[in-house]
Amino acid sequence: MHATSFNHVSLGAHDLEASVAFYTELLGLEQVPSVTFRRPTAWLRIGDRELHLLQDETPPPLRQHVALDVDDFEAVYAAAMERGCVDRETWGSHIYELPDGAVQLYLRDPAGNLVEIDWPDAGSLDRSVVTELPRLADQVPQQPAAAGATLYLR
């Protein structure tokens, strides 16, 4: 037996309404009906999967995160910068170009959950919008075994 796919990811939300607004307004997720649980819950569609938000006052782990692909990286980047929700501290920068050319942008949602926004090709970004893009390899020496690492499995 083998797992075949992710069905959904679940995150805590201190203020469920604020978290729903963050994911629907900034990232374009669609709220869909949720069953009724013992605590307030919201289900959001992302492609053919779901993100489940659960009312929870527990602080989120510092580095555990959910990573999302987007169809317009520059728009998300600009909106995140405007909202002031980028996380510049957890990984040393809010954005990196990985050795394979992929890009990772780090945000914090209203509950403090770490959200990674991914893009497959740094070379395709409008650098007048994405003005900062440090290379991870310039800051963290890459081990030889990392040469074949890629964020996007092909």
- pLDDT greater than 80 at residue 154: no
What's the number of CA atoms in the CB half-sphere (13 Å) around residue 59? Answer: 3
CA 145, 151, 152 angle in degrees (round to 5)? 125
Position 75 scores a pLDDT of 97
> Mean pLDDT, to the nearest integer, of 134-147?
93
Q: Rounded CA gap, 51 and 44, in Å?
A: 5
Q: Rounded CA gap, 41 and 147, in Å?
A: 42
- pLDDT-based confidence at 145, cuts 50/70/90? confident
Position 97 scores a pLDDT of 97
Q: Which comes out higher in pLDDT, residue 101 or 3?
A: 101
- pLDDT-based confidence at 57, cuts 50/70/90? very high
On whether the CB atoms of residues 22 and 63 are closer than 8 A, the answer is no
Q: Given strand 65-69, what is the order of strands in its sheet?
A: 65-69, 114-119, 103-108, 95-97
pLDDT in tens, 38-56: 999 999 999 999 999 999 9
Position 138 scores a pLDDT of 96
On whether the CB atoms of residues 103 and 118 are closer than 8 A, the answer is yes
Length of the chain: 154
Give all domains of the chain, ordered by start, each with its CATH number: 8-142 (3.10.180.10)
